[in-house]
Amino acid sequence: MSETTTPSAMVPVRLIGGPADWHETTLAIHTAAELAGPRKSLGTYLISNHVPVGHPDPGARAVYEPDAEPADPRMWFFRGWFPYGPDDPEHRRADHHVPVDVDIDGQLPAGWVTDDGGRYRVDRILAHWQTSGEDQLAPDVWHVRAGASDWELFQFPGDLWQAGPLPAADDGQ
């Protein structure tokens, strides 16, 4: 038996990354027609019990948005907090990156291998920012947890990847 969706039925979207109370949950707040519309009108600001330690606004909202087309509009990524705090974990940057071969699971990085044979498995996606398109050579940025460390993955055009360790953070995630 196949399922049919009425035009006004709410379609679930998967939340990826962000605070523990929202990561890998689903929301059904838009119809298929709304999800097929302009991406700029999609996204949400969610109340969380896991605002980063030291954030200047304990009521900050977790921001989730879909990537631009042709990405799946039913996958929304954590982009950071609103209002942002200067010490939020999402503002961390790796000091250096090395080229890596990344394994993809669907549209998500699942792990990578370094040139020296090091193997890493993504345990959790923390945040993701798609390049704006203003700089055609700018990478998409992924913050992921692999083992006991957080990493920054850069995905450049042509599917070239680099990885670098992020400084430690007390983010409550």
Tens digit of each residue's pLDDT (9 = 90 or more) over 68-106: 998 999 999 999 999 999 889 999 999 999 999 999 998
User: Same structural domain for residues 68 and 30?
Assistant: yes
Instruction: Give the tens place of pLDDT for each residue, 27-48.
Output: 999 999 999 999 989 999 999 9
* Weakest-pLDDT range from 5-9, 122-126, 140-144, 154-158: 5-9
Q: How far apart are CA 15 and CA 11, in angstroms?
A: 13
**Residue 128, CA distances (Å) to 22, 49, 66, 80, 139 in order:** 15, 21, 10, 9, 11
Residue 50 scores a pLDDT above 70:
yes
Confidence of residue 6 (pLDDT cuts 50, 70, 90): low
Share of the chain above pLDDT 90, in %: 80
**Residue 162, CA distances (Å) to 59, 140, 143, 154, 171 in order:** 34, 11, 12, 5, 24
Mean pLDDT value across residues 14-22? 97
Domain extent for 21: 10-82
Q: Is residue 66 part of a domain?
A: yes
The domain boundary residue, chosen from 64, 82, 100: 82
Our count of domains for the chain comes to 2
Amino acid 26 reads T
Q: Is residue 1 part of a domain?
A: no
User: Same structural domain for residues 102 and 156?
Assistant: yes
CA angle 41, 47, 48 (to 5 degrees): 125
Instruction: Give the tens place of pLDDT for each residue, 148-158.
Output: 999 999 999 88
- Residue 112 is predicted with a pLDDT of 98
Q: How far apart are CA 65 and CA 138, in angstroms?
A: 19
- Residue 173 is predicted with a pLDDT of 47
User: Same structural domain for residues 20 and 74?
Assistant: yes
The domain boundary residue, chosen from 63, 82, 101: 82
Residue 54 scores a pLDDT above 70:
yes
Give the global pTM.
Answer: 0.89
